[in-house]
Every structure is written in C-alpha cells, then in structure tokens.
Amino acid sequence: MTDLPTVSYDEGRTRDAAELRRLQECSTEEIRLVGRIQSHGILFAVDDSTGTVVAASANAEQWLGLPLADTGSEMLAWAMSHGVAVDPVRAELDGTAYDVIAHRGTSPLILELEPVIPDLEYVRTGVVTAIQRVAHITDPDELRIQAARELKAITGFDRVMCYEFHEDGHGQIVADEREPDMESYFGLHFPASDIPPQARMLYLEKRSRAIVDTDDPGLGIRTLLPESQPIDLGITELRAVSPHHLQFMRNMGQASTVSFAVVAEGRLVGMFTCAHRTQRRLPVLLRRALEVLATQVGTQLISARQIQALRRQLEARERRAAVVAPLYGRADIADALVRGRRTVLDVVPADGVYLRVDGVVSTMGVVPAPERLDPVIDDLGPSGFVSDALPIERPELAVEIAGVAGLLIVPLSDDGDRLVFVRGEAAREVQWLGDQSAANRDTPLSPRRSFSAWVESVTGRSLPWGEHAQDAFDLGADIRTALLSRAQAELAELALQDALTGLHNRRFLDERLSQVLAEGARQVSVVFLDLDNFKAVNDTHGHELGDAVLSTVGRRLLGAARSTDIVARLGGDEFVVVCLDVHEEEASLIAQRAVDALREPIKVGDVIVEIGASAGIATEDGRPTAAQLLDAADAAMYRAKRAGRGRVSR
C-alpha cells in the first residue's frame, strides 16, 4: 500500500489570522437550528399530546394547526404513533410515494418525508457483500481504500474519498476512488475549518449526512411555536446547508454529496464522502446500510490499531530492555547507554543524545556543546519537555542552541540527571487540498476557489517525535528502575564487603560458610591467617600506612587463592580463605602460597614494610557449624604462631 507521510500540523504556527477567523466563524454557526430543510423533502413537527401539526416545511404549510390524521395518509399517523422507526415507513401523500422517517425522541415530534427513488432499491446494492469483502482486511490503509472502492460501486457516485482526522484537527485524504477524468486528491491535507467542530460532534450523533443539490436554496419552516422554541434539526435527514458550505461544494465541482462517519472508541477519526458532479440522491434505507459499512470500518480500525500498538509496544520494550540490561550489572552507565553496541538512539531515533548522571556529561552524535545545552535544560525545569518546533515555540531558547529544532528531555532523577535527545531541522513539504492563502479566496472568509494540490514548505521543525516521545519517557522509567536496583544491590554488597580491602567481610563469610555446610554436598576447608608483627607497622608508621599494607595483603591473598575460593577479612589483621571441593592437603598448598606471598616486602610510597603471616587449617569433618570450623582453624593458626610464626599448621 502507499505509505502516506505523517505530518504534525501545528495550528498556532500554520494558521494565519484569516484561517483562525474562518474556524471561529464556522464553529459558532448554529447548524442544528438552521430553520430550513432541503427542498426535495417534506418535514412535519407534531405535538405529541394532541397530534396537531405545529410546524411544517413551506411545501406542507397547509397542514399547520391540523391533526396529522387529516393529511389523508394513514401511514403517516401510524409512523408517528409507533415507537422510533429505525427504518423508514413507506407512505403516500398527495399521490407521491415517500419514505417516512419518524423521530420520536424530539420535542415536538418530527416526521420527515423523502420521495421514493424507484430505480435504486436497497436489495440490489450488495452492501452485505461489501461488508464481507472488507471484513478480513487488517491493514488500515488498505481497509479504507477498499471500503471507498465498495462505496463507489454501490452508490454510483463519481468520487468517494476517505478522510483521516489528525490529533490537531486537520484532515488528510487517505483514499480517493474517482472517475478517470477527475484530478486526484489522494494524500492531500485540508484545514480543520473545512469540517468545523460542531459538525464533527453532530456526526457522532447522526452517522450520515446527504446534500442533494448544491444549488438548492432550501425551504423555510413555518411554525406555530414561539420564537424561543426553535426546532432542533440536528438529527434530521433534510436539514439545510449553510450557503458557505454550498459554495465550497460548488467550487469543488460537486452537485451532490453524502458522507458517512467513521467512529472509533467514541471519537470521530474519519469520514467517507461520496461526491457527484450532477444531482444524485440515495434512499434513506441505503444510507442506513452504508452507515453499517462505515461502522464496520471503524470497528476494524480499532482492532488494527490495537494490534499495531501491541506489536509496537513489544518491539519497543525489547529495544529498551536490550539497552538497559547492562545497568543491572557493573557496566559503566555511559558505556551502557550511549557507547554500547546498542544505545538509547536505537530506542529513540535522533541526531544526537546528551546524558547527565551524577554531574558527569556524556554525548553521542550531533549535540550542542554542554556549556550551551546545560543552561537550556536547566531553564526548562525538572520535568520532561517535548518540542519538535523549538525555534517556533521557544525562540529565546532555540537561539542558544542554534541548529536544534527538536528537543526531548527525560528526567532521570530529582537531582538534575537528564537524558536529552536532539534533532535538527527537517524542512519538508506538505501538500494541501487547494491553495490556503488569500489569493485563492474571494474574501478572507470565503471558501477556496480551487482545490488543486498546493505545496507548503514547512521549516523551523524537526521530524515529529510522535510515539517516540512516549518511548523516551518509558526508557527513562526503565533507566530509573535499573539505577535504583543497581544502587540497592551496591548497598547490599557493601554490607557484605570490607570497605578497606574490598574483600568479603565477616557477615558474608558467616552466611556463605553456613550455607555451604548446610548443603552438605561439598568438601570444605578453612585457612585462618593472622599477620605477624603488624602491630609494629601501625605503631611505627601510623594507621594510614597500615591501612595501605592491609589493602595490599588483600590483593595478594586473592592472587594466592583460586577463583572458586572465598577470601574474607574478619577484622584487624585476621583473614580467612574458604577452600571449596579440596582435600586438606590441597588446602595446605593454598595456605602455603598465601603465607609465601605475604613474606615478600610491601612498598608503600618510600617505606618498605616486611611482615609475615601464620596460617591454620581446619576441615568440616565433625564440625557442623561455621563457628566451630572457624574456631578450629583459629586454634590451628595459634599453634603455627607458637611454633615460630610464618608457617602453616593443622
């Protein structure tokens, strides 16, 4: 399918004063209280309690003040007295057959009469078949194009377009099935004022709208009701059209139109408009059936978008997880996020990214210098910020970081940590349904004269962030969670780590040794080491140098032990090596390597210190607890001390 570009249309930027006036003028028009109907039909308003005609279109004013039964049509009276008529009732009035639509929910009650169209009966239109043909389509673009094609075949209109309404109010033509000699409007955009807010709201209440003749001035409604009680024609079929809109249609070469709302989750998301170059009218029952087709399209669009959203969410989650996962380990934060194999730019495409964590700034790609970007970020405050038009929305900031049009700031903490994505200007062209300028209008409030494609150059904006903005804030939440977990893990590790040497501490040793002994599946030996003559080092050179010596001792013990052994500092100058899956003889070799390593002089600055160590070994045989095993190794160490120091004892 043709892939239409997504365009963010900023109302405050693109609309000039005249467009704002047009939108305001259109939005204040009382389209429900227009007081006229299209002249091909008849309208009666009837008092519910008396059956008296209290209002009538000008072509039926002779019935004003008379009971509805006096019209001579029993079916008219029957239609009014029998509930809400979803489908029309066939009746004859003054020798003409009409489809009668009764609106029982209004006050007064309203009857509309449309002349029957004998050569276009509902049974020959194939609406059900059309619904079946589109029911299997899951791609939104293909669905709307195929539905427009079906509508054209059913209605016989020259052109059938499908509109999509964007979040900012403007629309885009996403399907255009037309006769070969007609100019294509596919992909063109149109301003919000073409279909003003109150008209869109009415489409939620009444799902179709037919305009039979753009040259029809309409018929007034004669009424016996007071001026303070105008008749609400909002849900009627025959409601007349504003002269402005009729001129708009004539300028487009349209003599007749019929439109069907596309509603998704209670919101008007689009519309099918059938247009004909000569007068053409569809029977009301056919319009009802085509409303069902449009409803089917709306339902399928909901499903398709939900599926697309779920698929996209899963893909985005996978990308975020791949980037954030290293943070749960010991990876450097900047390396993981902006210098790794996968970076945050794989989650949120941008020209560059700026990361500030704990006051340290890292960048990747094209990013303004930190001394320029930092003040802008800080000026925007601690909350998130999204703009794809910084020179337009915040020119005072844009001038400080020239070249940046898109800015997306994600807070990572309350202390100023930030993840910032930047994009440069992406000048692009937007094709509009007709020149939007005053040159294409008789007056600033007039409709456009021509609707040929008109190209507008859009500057001062980056590519729109769109769904990537949410991706960025979701990524920020994931990063915050990972950093919190990492900090908690580091705190937990510190609680089990000796701060001076980096070795495990007494708490960890007790917990881990108890766990291993409880499992009972591994052979365990413990080497207990105590430094010789270490007190003299502190007394002679001070505790600061003594701490440096202890730190060196820790590194040497790690070098003497195996990677599977547990090396811990109990406190002071006492150390323990837990040897797993070894016999006592093998543990003795490990203990001897440790003692030999500590005989080597230790240099701290200009001071050379000579110390040694005595070691005791104990195995788990007959010693079921960690305390008993450590006591036995401690006792063996003291035997080594008494035997002359610098040796290993069992």
Active site residues: 573
d(CA 109, CA 47): 6
Q: How far apart are CA 650 and CA 644, in angstroms?
A: 14
Which of 156, 148, 157 shows the shortest CA–CA distance to 176?
Answer: 148
Q: Where are the alpha helices (DSSP H) in 11-163?
A: 11-14, 17-27, 74-81, 127-134, 140-155
Region of 571 on the Ramachandran plot (φ > 0 left; ψ -120 to 50 alpha; else beta):
left
**Nearest in space to 551 (alpha carbons), one of 503, 593, 588:** 503
Is the separation of the CB atoms in 166 and 172 below 8 Å?
yes
- How far apart CA 580 and CA 530 sit, in angstroms, is 21
Q: How many CB atoms lie within 10 A of CB 523?
A: 16
DSSP per-residue string spanning 342-387? S-GGGTS--SEEEEEETTEEEEEES---HHHHHHHHHHT-SS-EEE
Structure tokens, 258 = 């019929």
Specify which residues 102 forms β-bridges with.
111
| 386 closest CA partner among 427, 423, 347 | 423
CB atoms within 10 A of CB 85: 16
User: Within 13 Å of residue 444, how many CA atoms lie on the same side as its CB?
Assistant: 11
User: Which one-letter DSSP state was computed for residue 153?
Assistant: H
Would you say 161 and 451 are in contact if contact means Cβ atoms under 8 Å apart? no
- Closest of 63, 64, 81 to residue 72, by C-alpha: 63
